[in-house]
Amino acid sequence: MNTLSECPSWCDREHLTDIGADQIHEAPLESVPVVAMSRTFPRGGALLRSVEATEVVVFAYQYVGDDETWIAVVEEELQRQRIEISLESARRLQRSLTALLDRIG
C-alpha cells in the first residue's frame, strides 16, 4: 500500500503519487444492509409509503492537509440515503441513537 507520511492511523487508502488527484485519506468501507422508508407524493394523490431493503456504506475520511475527520453513511448505489457529518456530530448522533434504542427496547 502506498501511504503518505501524514496518513491518519485509520487510513487504508492506496494513495496515488500525484496527490492533487487523490485528496482524501479514507478508512475501509463497511457495508451495512438496512431497510429504509420511502415516501412519495403523487400529484393529486395521497401520500404513498414504501419500504425497501438497501445497503449503506459507513466510512471516515479526511482531506489531505486538513485536521477535520468526516463520517459518512451513504447509500452506495443510488445515494438516496446520505449522512455526512463531522466526527463530533457523529459522536452526538451515536449517543442519541444509543439512548433512543435503549428507551424503545
Size of the residue set binding Zn ion (CB under 5 A): 4
Give min distance, CB of 14 to Zn ion, in A.
Answer: 9
Q: Is 25 in the site for Zn ion (CB under 5 A)?
A: yes
Structure-derived torsion over alpha carbons of residues 10, 13, 16, 21, reported in degrees to the nearest 10: -90
Going along the chain, which residue ranges are E strands? 24-26, 30-40, 48-63, 70-75, 82-86
Give min distance, CB of 63 to Zn ion, in A.
Answer: 10
Q: Is 62 in the site for Zn ion (CB under 5 A)?
A: no
Q: What is the CA radius of gyration of the chain?
A: 18
- Whether 15 and 3 have beta carbons less than 8 Å apart is answered as yes
Give min distance, CB of 91 to Zn ion, in A.
Answer: 22
Q: Is 93 in the site for Zn ion (CB under 5 A)?
A: no
Q: Is 7 in the site for Zn ion (CB under 5 A)?
A: yes
Give min distance, CB of 104 to Zn ion, in A.
Answer: 39
Give the separation between CA 37 and CA 30, rounded to whole angstroms: 21
Which residue of 1, 2, 10, 11 would you call a contact of Zn ion, by CB under 5 A?
A: 11
Which residues here bind Zn ion, judged by CB under 5 A? 7, 11, 13, 25
